[in-house]
Structures are given as structure tokens and as C-alpha cells.
Amino acid sequence: MFIYLSKKIAIPNNIQLRCVSWNKEQGFITCGGEDGLLKVLKLETQTDDAKLKGLAAPSNLSMNQTLEGHSGAVQVVTWNEQYEKLTTSDQNGLIIVWMLYKGVWYEEMINNRNKSVVRSMSWNADGQKICIVYEDGAVIVGSVDGNRIWGKELKGSQLAHVVWSPDSKILLFGMASGEVHIYDNQGNFIMKMSISCLTSASGAVSIAGIHWYAGSGGYMEPGCPCLAICFDNGRCQIMRNENDEDPVCIDTLMNVVSIQWNHCGNVLAVAGSLRVPNMEKEFNVLQFYTPYGEHLRTLKVPGKQMSGVAWEGGGLRIGLAVDSHIYFANIRPDYKWGYCCSTVVYAYTKPDRPEYCVVFWDTKNNEKTVKYVRSLMSITTCGDFCLLTSKADDTQHQDDAEVESGSPGRFVLILCNSIGTPLDSNYVDIEPLFVAMTRTHVIAASKEAFYLWQYRVAKKLTALEINQVTRTKKEGRERLYHIDSNPSPAATISPDFSKAFTATRDPICCITATDKTLIVGRESGAILTYSLPHVSLVHKYSSSNRAHHLCLNCDSSRLAIIDIAGVLTLLDLETVSTTEDGAGNCASAEDVSRFERKDVWDMKWANDNPNLFAMMEKTRMYVFRNLNPEEPIQTSGYICHFDDLEIKSVLLDEIMKDPERPNKDNLINFEIRSLRDSRALIEKVGIEDASQFIEDNPHPRLWRLLAEAALQKLDLKTAEQAFVRCKDYQGIQLVKRLGNLHSEPMKQAEVVAYFGKFEEAERMYVDMDRRDLAISLRIKLGDWFRVLYLLKASSGDCDDTLLEQAYNAIGDYFADRQKWVNAVQYYLQGSNQERLAECYYMLEDYGGLESLTMSLPENHKLLVEIGQMFATVGMCDQAVNAYLKCNQPKAAVDTCVHLNQWNKAVELARNHNMKEIKSLLSKYASHLLEKNKTLEAVELYRKARHFLEAAKLMFKMADEEAKKRSRPLRVKKLYVLAAHLVENYHQQVKMAQQSKAKGKKSEATLALAGLLEEDATSADSRIIDNAWRGAEAYHFFLLSQRQLYTGNAENAMLTALHLRDYEDVIPAVEIYSLLAVCSATCRAFAICSQAFVCLESLESLETDQRQQYEDLALQIFTKHPPKNTRALEQDRPLEGGEEKLPTCIVTGLPIQQYQFWLCGVCKHCATEDKISNYSCCPLCHSVIT
């Protein structure tokens, strides 16, 4: 930062001032002094020039009101900025609250305790409460409307200061003895504050000031110190909170009278006096410190006694009460900012975020990109890139090489482009207090060492190089040198950060660099010059003053030095290097040039002229050519860029007032005098005289200006010569093209177009009846709306191809801006089916997309894309139609599978004889089975004629239903359906063998071949060989119960006896329970006894069930002996014999006739007399023919 005195206001009658305060919101300044003096002032800028803003604009007193009401010396003044109230108190203890009404301050409230004098008053952060402390220990807390909230007498305490905490929960009381006591907001004592800065201090001390920054402008970083307590002996401590055990301690070596933080809490002003060594005289000074105790600047202030200090709201000015005067000093803050690639990069803090908000403002397009960086230290720019330097966060990702080394860097360097996208990063251990940047290197320096990093940008690397960079250590790209060492070009080893912390007697204070030179400034005034990129010490120069800012010109021949006092000097490196003696002694900087300027706070060399530079001196900008100044320009902007005889300056002060909305009005371009004079000569004198002037003061920009003026007057010879001098090849080509034209109006039109006056050029072409040239001009400009207008306005037939091109280009214009409805209209007229499909898709106009599909010819390449569009939104039928129209059935099937339309997929696969239908069926069946849709899977296999797979699923389902003890009739139906599927499988195998044999073999041979193939291919012979077994079991089980309920108990018993062969299908407990019931009903107790014996011997029964069966058997057979009471009508004569008679599926009885009926489907038998009553087979339900 830089500070200088800018204004002085004298108080009438030489009345001594006691205090001063500046309202940061409304800008009012109040000062109190002897004899009841109380004034309210206001400085306002008054200018009509838009370029004169901020500190550069003249300021006058818009208010100078003397407030009458105090009789004694006014000692305390404080503002309530939220409610626009002023509270004042004098030596008699009188307190007055003032309010503003119609531009004039009036008394609102008066209070006088008549016991003691008020020593301090403080409003809390929201302006709701005020705390007033009296010298005798009385404390009063009141509200903004004048009501007393609470009061307290601190007996035995002599109060001197009071301050609220930012959250209004704590009050700090400064005692006259120098102690600080902590109370809560209700007046309850908490503890005494530990004062560390007074360690080893002797003598009595008093508190000069306490200021607790409320955080209204954000913080530099999380946990930043914000509570400053300063004593009259110059000792000061800055704390993070009231309980901070490790505060920042400063010894200012001055007699302090007042302190105050600036608006954003990053600068602490300490006002007082400094004693001159070996002299009794003292002089007033204003010292500036960071929250971490680093000294920034010192301002000497004239006068005898300084009594107060107050910051302006924006932190750009500071007011000082000295004797009977108010001095104003302007401050040029060290903003964190930079300029790269037409982009202004700046950072500011927000009260609601712990990070810095970094804004990348593209001044060409007026667009901004925002990113947040925690603990930002600096912003450095060069060319197209920006470097953000910050403290490394523990959560940030670090390079593999550094993590492996076990010593991750404490600071991070992030290389960004002009929109804030990180391109490269590096972690370092040294604290990068000073950073410089060239087109290839970043140089970061601490006070003891400097570090070089050769950064890389991804667009310059091949994929192989990028891979190598990420996998390997960046050998040779990083170098570290201690400032006291003598580096050599051969030293390219990896940096050893342990050497960087070795202390030095002469620390680094600033650096700068170009592509071939590095300059390092040291606190002693020594300036070291190193060569780049191979670092070696070239020269060492000496200067009498400590440098604060260094800047090299474009060819590294001259160095600008701004010292700590704001004095600018120049060092001619080439002259010094030639005059250095052979012994290597240091040459003196004063011997080189006597150039010197004072109060300089910014400067910039021209990028294209080593003898041209601009500098800021207070609120004036000077341009120097060969050390000769031009007339100054009144401005307070920071210089961004100096090139092509134009200076680009940014009014950062104005931007920081509203950093979220930067305005182009705050970016100003200045032309230097030679450019302004050349333009004036061309306009007023003529081209010939101007040409001679430019010849004497050559510059490419001036030659280009002359060439453009000659073009306007069609002086082609002069224009060509000027274009040659400024090396403008395109301009030379334009002159040659103009020389080949014979029409003067045509030449004029070309020149007008060259200067960007396209409407005028178009009108001239149309007036010459050369509408084709007007259209060609608009096509070059990409103004297709105008092209379309010109095409339609032509009297003759227009070119249909060009018309379609115009329609499509306009459609592209709307599509790029996502105005799809407008784009469709133009694409339809331009017959652009590809973009039309895209627009329909973005508009979700699937009807239009389907109509487009119908209109396209077969095998059109767009059909595939349309099919994909339909597939992405789940419209299966439309997608299939599109794929089939372009002859891609495989894609259609894949789409159906993807959208779970398996029926359609199988149908398509079958219709197009696709080989992968089996795998497709398996996927679909698995999909259905996952959803427990077994019957649908069976139907799928049946339709696909995979009968065996369907039968397996059906048998599985029947078995599951049987285990769940579902209704027997349902289970029988499932087994019958499964058996039918097996029969279909048999028939399929037989038909396949017949088609292979083509009638050459006998029927018996075919049947045998089919059976052999079944045996060879079947994985489950049980299903094929015993397909009807489950159906038989449940058929006889139902038949036996039906016979029992119809009163035919004997036949029911005989049918139940037949069920003993199906214990693997029906549970044995159900079979023997049915047999026991039927045999007991027909009084066949012998068979009933056998049934009970079988039931009691079943291992599957539980103990209580077995006991119930035993009890029931006991009840039955105590009454009836286990004998058959009568002879049965039929017995099973062949039971246990070698042959087994077939069973009638109608009656359940064995068939003893030699002739019987045989079902053609299930191959089961029945007596002819019984089956004659049925139209369908009782077992398989097939129609009897």
C-alpha cells in the first residue's frame, strides 16, 4: 500500500481538537475539541468527467455544520451508522445524541449524570445498544431509542475504554491501570484478559485504544486476528478472540494515542508520535500493520500533537486530528489483482464466506467467472495466464511425488487460464511472499530463498507427455536457491527445501522477472541480477534505499525501482554492466541515472518500446518517453496494460465498491501524446505532414493510423507504404485488390467495409446494383438474417442453394441459443433433415420426429440416429420402425431388449431368422422369472416352439404348487399342461427327423431315430419318460375322492390302492389317510389296519400327529377287528405278479378285457363301455374322435 497527505482543513480560532470519527456508511466526519467545539463535515466528489472517479476527482465540503450544545471540551464522539445517529460527550459528563433531519443535525436526546466524566462510548454491531463507561466505574447500557437496559457500578475501578464483541455477547472494559476485563452483555464479570505484549515492559502504562473488528467486510482468512489492544508505550497485541493465548505482539516504538481497523480488517492504523534518536524532538507518525503484525507503511504527519485517527468507509482515505487541523491522507491499497488476456482478475472478501472471492472479469464480453480460494496470498498474471498463491488446505489434493516424499507443501501455486480453470499446480514449503511470472516460469521467493517452477499448460503437451508428467517427478522443472548462494547453470537437481529456511542477514524484499532476466531486491538496497532460464548470478548492484517494487522493461535493459518511500528511480542494466570493473565490485545505482520521481505507487513499461513507460504519481498518470514526461492525466486507476501507444487502466477503487457487478465504465483507455498528435495532424493538416511526423516518431500504431487515413482518401501509394512499415500483410493485400478495381465507388465500398461500416458498404453495393457483393459481404460476416433479406429482396430468381444455406445457417443460429421452435421453421425451409431431427428431439416433438421417419427414404443414414432418439425416450415401436426401415433388424431387437419389450424382440428375431434367438429367449425368460412371471415365460417358450424348456418351467411350477398344498385340481391341470408340452416336444423331434430324411426311410426307422435324438439331447429324462406321471397321480387322487363322496366306497378304496405307486408325487400321509377313510367306509378293516400301520411308521410325522393316529386306530380297532367283513367284488389277482394290468382312467380299476380304448395323446386306457360316455379324455382332456 502507499499513503500520502492530500488535504488539510483548519478549525476556526485555532481550537485544539480532541477526537475525530468518520461515519463509514454515510460519509459524515465529526470532530470534537476544546470549548465545546463539535463539527460535522462531509467530503463529496463533484465532477462532470466520467473518467474522474474516486480519489482523482476533486472533493469539496458538502457539509460544514457546527453543533451547539456542549460547553466543555468534547472528548468522545461515536457514530451509530445503522440509525444515522451521532453520540457525543464532553468533559462535564454531558451526553448528547444527534439526529439528521432534512440535511441538518439536531439534538435528539440529552443525558447528564453530574457525577463523573464519560471516558468511552461504544455502539454494538447492529446499532441496537450503546455502552457508556464513566471514569468512576459506572456502566450504563441503553437502547437506540433512549431507554436504559441496565446499569452497574464497578466499585474501585477507574474505566477508560469499552468495546463490544462482534456478536454483542461480550463487553471489554479497559481500565485506567492498563488491565482489560471481560464481562458478558448483562454486566457479569467473566475474567481478566491476559496481556502478553507488556512482558518485560516497565513503568506505568495506560490503554491508548481498543478496537474489535466486527467482520462486516469479511476476513483475510479463517481465524484471522481482529481484536487490537494498544498501550501508550507502543506495545500492541492483536488477538483472534478474547481468550486467545497466543496473540500477535507488536512493539511500535512510539507513543500511541489512537488505533483503528480499516473497513475490511486487513490494515490496522496506529497513530501517535515517534521520538527522534539522540534528540528531544518528537514528530507525529501514522503506522500501518497487518493483522499478523507485519509493518506496511509509515506516514509522517506535520503538527505538534495528534489526537485521533478515523478511516473512511471504503478504506481509501484516513482522517487525522492534529492540533487545530484535520489532515486527510489518500491510500492506494495493495489489492490482490492482475490483468491477463483482456481479463481483470481481482479478489475480495465477503462477510458470509471464509474464502476470498476471486473474480475473472472478461472486459471484452463483460462476463465474469467466480471462484473461491481459501487463504489467498497473491494474484500474479503474465500473458494469457494467472497464478493464484494461497496457503495449502489440509483437504486439498497434492501431487503424488510430494505425498510420497512425506513432506507435503504448506503453500500452493495454482496456474489458471483467463476464466479461472486450473491448468497446473504445485506445492512448496517456502512462504511465497513475493511472486513473479514469465511466459514459462513462476518465481516465488521467501525472505531467504527463491524457487523457480517451469509450469506447463495442457494444450502444449501431447498425451504421452501428459502421462509422463502425472506419473513421474518433475525433474528439472523445479529449482530452489538460497539468496546467499551463488547458483550455477549446471545445478538442476531437485529442490532441497531444508536449505531454504537458513536465516540470512539481508532478506529478500521484492522480485521481478522477464523471460531472460530475474531481478531480486534485498532490504539493504542490493539488487541481484540472474540470467534465465539457466539461473546464474550476472551482476550485483547497490542502492541507498530499500526497494519495494521492481519492474523490467520489454528488452530487460532497464529496471524501474520504487522504494519504500514511493521514490521511483531507473537503473540502466546494460550501462551498469559495461561500467563494472574487472574486480567484480558493485556499481552504484546513483551513477547510472539522475532520474527521480516522488510519491509513485504504480508503474508499467510499454510492451513494445523499452524507452516508454507510464507511472502513477498520487492521482496523476505520467507517460515518459526517453525520460521526458508528457502532460499528466488526472486518474486514480491501476495500470493494466501498456501497448500500442495505449494505456489500459482499471478503477479498482470503484470496482471494489460493488465487486459483484463490475462495470465497463471503470475500465479506461488512454492514448499517449504521439498518438493523439498524429491523429490531430491527419485530421487538421494533411497526410503528407503527418507522414513526416510519423517518420520522425516511428511506431507501428502510428503507421497503421496513417495507412487507415490514406485508405479513406484512396491514397493507395501512401497506404501501401504505411502498411509495409507496420508489417500489416492483410492491409497490403487490400491495397493491391483496390488497385485492380477500376470503379471508384467499388473502391470506396471496399474501404468502408474494411473499417467495419458494413451497413454503409452494403448500401453502396446495392446502389451499384451489385447485390451479389452485398450478399458475399454478409456471408463473410456471418449475418445470415441479412443474407436472407437480400436474397428475398432481389428482383430475379435467387440461388436456391444459397437460399437453403441461409435458412440452415439461421436455423443453426437459433439452435445454438436453444431456441428450438424458431430453428425448426428454418430447418424445414432449408430441408436440413439432420438438424430437424435434433430439434424435434430437443422439443420432445415425437410426432414430428415420427413424421420425419415416414418421409425419409429407406436406408437413409439419419434413420439410425432417429432410432436411437426414440430408444432413449422409451418409444419402442417407433424406434423399431426406424431401424427396420434402414435394414437393421439387429439394432431393432437390441432396442426391444433394452426396453424390456421381449415379445416384440422374439417376434422380430423369429421373423428375421436371427441366430441368437435362443440366447435372447434365455435373457427374456430370466427377466420374467426375476419378476415371478413364470406363466409368461412358459408362454414365451411355447410360442418360440421351445417346448422342452417350457415343460421344465411348467413341471417346476406344478411341483411348487403341490408343495404349497394348493387345490388338487389346479395341480392336476398344471401337470397336464406340462405333459402336453412334452408331447409337443416329441412331435417336434419327429417332424425334424422327417424333414431330414425326406421320405427315404421307413416310419419305424424315423421313430427310432427320433427317440435316439431325444435320448442324446435331453438333459432331464424324468420329464420326457414320465411326463404324465404327475397328472396320473392327481387324476386318481381326485377320482378316489369323487367316488367316495358319490357313495361308491369300494371303488374309491380300489382307486386309492392304486395311489400307492405315486408316493413320489403325492405326500404318503395324504395317500394312506385317503385309503384308511375309504377302506373303513366299505368295512375293509384289514386294509384299513394296513393303512394305519403305514401312517404310524411315516418318519415325516411329528410326535403329536403320530399319537393322534395311534389313538384313532385304537378307537376303531377296539370296536372292529382288522378283518374284512365281506368279500370284495374285485381283487387284484395279479398283485405282485410278473405283469401289471392297465388301469382304466374312468373307473380307476384294472382293465381285464383284451379290447380297450387308448387315448391318442396321453396313451392312457379305458374300457370302451365307460369311455363312450365322454367326449374328452378324462386325463389329458383331448377331444375323443
pLDDT tens-digit series, residues 516-547: 999 999 999 999 999 988 899 999 998 888 99
Q: What is the mean pLDDT of residues 1141-1148?
A: 86
Banded pLDDT at 1185 (limits 50, 70, 90):
confident
**Contact between residue 520 and residue 527 where contact means Cβ atoms under 8 Å apart:** yes
Supply the DSSP string of 297-331, one letter for each residue.
Answer: EEEEE-SS-EEEEEE-TTSSEEEEEETTEEEEEEE
Low-confidence winner among 66-70, 333-337, 1133-1137, 1178-1182 (lowest mean pLDDT): 1133-1137
> How many Å apart are CA 604 and CA 639, to the nearest integer?
7
> How many Å apart are CA 870 and CA 850, to the nearest integer?
9
**Contact between residue 587 and residue 579 where contact means Cβ atoms under 8 Å apart:** yes
Selected residue with higher pLDDT from 59 and 724? 724
Q: Which of 465, 413, 458, 421 lies closest to 437, judged by CA?
A: 413
> How many Å apart are CA 376 and CA 347, to the nearest integer?
9
Q: What is the mean pLDDT of residues 961-983?
A: 87
Residue 1027 β-bridge partners: none
**Contact between residue 99 and residue 88 where contact means Cβ atoms under 8 Å apart:** no
Banded pLDDT at 1169 (limits 50, 70, 90):
confident
Banded pLDDT at 465 (limits 50, 70, 90):
very low
- Residues of the chain above pLDDT 90, percent: 44
Is pLDDT above 70 for 467? Answer: no
Alpha helices by DSSP H, 1046-1164: 1049-1058, 1068-1081, 1085-1096, 1103-1119
Tell me the three-class secondary structure of 251-276, residue by residue. Answer: ECCCEEEEEEECCCCCCEEEEEEEEC
Count of CB atoms situated within 10 Å of the CB of 35: 13
**Contact between residue 1074 and residue 1059 where contact means Cβ atoms under 8 Å apart:** yes
> How many Å apart are CA 1075 and CA 57, to the nearest integer?
118
pLDDT tens-digit series, residues 545-591: 899 999 999 999 999 999 998 999 998 887 644 444 433 444 344 34
Q: Which of 218, 396, 736 lies closest to 226, judged by CA?
A: 218
Alpha-carbon dihedral 806, 812, 817, 819, rounded to 10 degrees = 80
Query: What strands lie across the sheet with 667-671, from one edge to the other?
Result: 638-643, 646-650, 667-671
| 534, containing H or E segment | none
Selected residue with higher pLDDT from 191 and 905? 191
3-state helix, strand, coil in the chain (%, to 5): 35, 30, 35
Q: Which of 254, 261, 259 lies closest to 235, judged by CA?
A: 254
- How far apart, in Å, do the first and last CA atoms of the chain sit? 113
| 517, containing H or E segment | strand 517-522
> How many Å apart are CA 1031 and CA 1015, to the nearest integer?
23
pLDDT tens-digit series, residues 1093-1113: 888 888 888 888 888 888 888
Supply the DSSP string of 223-253, one letter for each residue.
Answer: T---EEEEETTSEEEEESSTT-SS-EEEE--
Is pLDDT above 80 for 709? Answer: yes
Cα four-point dihedral sign 391, 393, 398, 402: positive
> How many Å apart are CA 406 and CA 401, to the nearest integer?
9
**Contact between residue 141 and residue 131 where contact means Cβ atoms under 8 Å apart:** yes
Rg of the chain (C-alpha set): 51
Q: Which amino acid is at 159?
A: L
Query: What does the block give as the cell for 852?
Result: 420425419
Most confidently modeled range among 214-228, 254-268, 382-396: 254-268
Q: Give the chain's length.
A: 1185
> What was the pLDDT predicted at 1028?
86
Cα four-point dihedral sign 94, 95, 97, 103: positive
Count of CB atoms situated within 10 Å of the CB of 1021: 10
Specify whether the backbone of 529 is left (phi greater than 0), alpha (psi in -120 to 50) or beta. Answer: beta
Task: Report DSSP state, residue 343.
Answer: E
Query: What strands lie across the sheet with 411-416, from one edge to the other?
Result: 376-382, 385-391, 411-416, 422-428
| 78, containing H or E segment | strand 74-80
Banded pLDDT at 475 (limits 50, 70, 90):
low
Task: Report DSSP state, residue 704.
Answer: H
Q: Which of 392, 373, 294, 376 lies closest to 335, judged by CA?
A: 376
> What was the pLDDT predicted at 1179?
85
Residue 510 β-bridge partners: 521
> How many Å apart are CA 54 and CA 665, to the nearest integer?
13
| 390, containing H or E segment | strand 385-391
Burial class (CB in 10 A: 0-12, 13-18, 19+), 780: exposed
> What was the pLDDT predicted at 299?
93
Q: Which of 685, 733, 727, 675 lies closest to 705, judged by CA?
A: 675
> How many Å apart are CA 239 and CA 125, to the nearest integer?
18
Query: What does the block give as the cell for 268?
Result: 490496522
pLDDT tens-digit series, residues 308-343: 999 998 899 999 999 999 999 999 999 999 999 899
> What was the pLDDT predicted at 1005?
56
Average pLDDT, the chain: 85
Banded pLDDT at 1162 (limits 50, 70, 90):
confident
Selected residue with higher pLDDT from 464 and 403? 464
> What was the pLDDT predicted at 140?
94
Task: Report DSSP state, residue 7.
Answer: E
3-state secondary structure of 95: strand
> How many Å apart are CA 1074 and CA 1087, to the nearest integer?
12
**Contact between residue 277 and residue 300 where contact means Cβ atoms under 8 Å apart:** no
Is pLDDT above 90 for 9? Answer: yes
Largest Cα separation within the chain, whole Å, is 152
Q: Which of 500, 411, 490 lies closest to 450, judged by CA?
A: 500
Query: What does the block give as the cell for 1137?
Result: 405278479
Banded pLDDT at 28 (limits 50, 70, 90):
very high
Measured CA angle at 970 (ends 965, 975), to 5 deg: 95
**Contact between residue 360 and residue 374 where contact means Cβ atoms under 8 Å apart:** no
> How many Å apart are CA 299 and CA 882, to the nearest integer?
82
Specify whether the backbone of 8 is left (phi greater than 0), alpha (psi in -120 to 50) or beta. Answer: beta
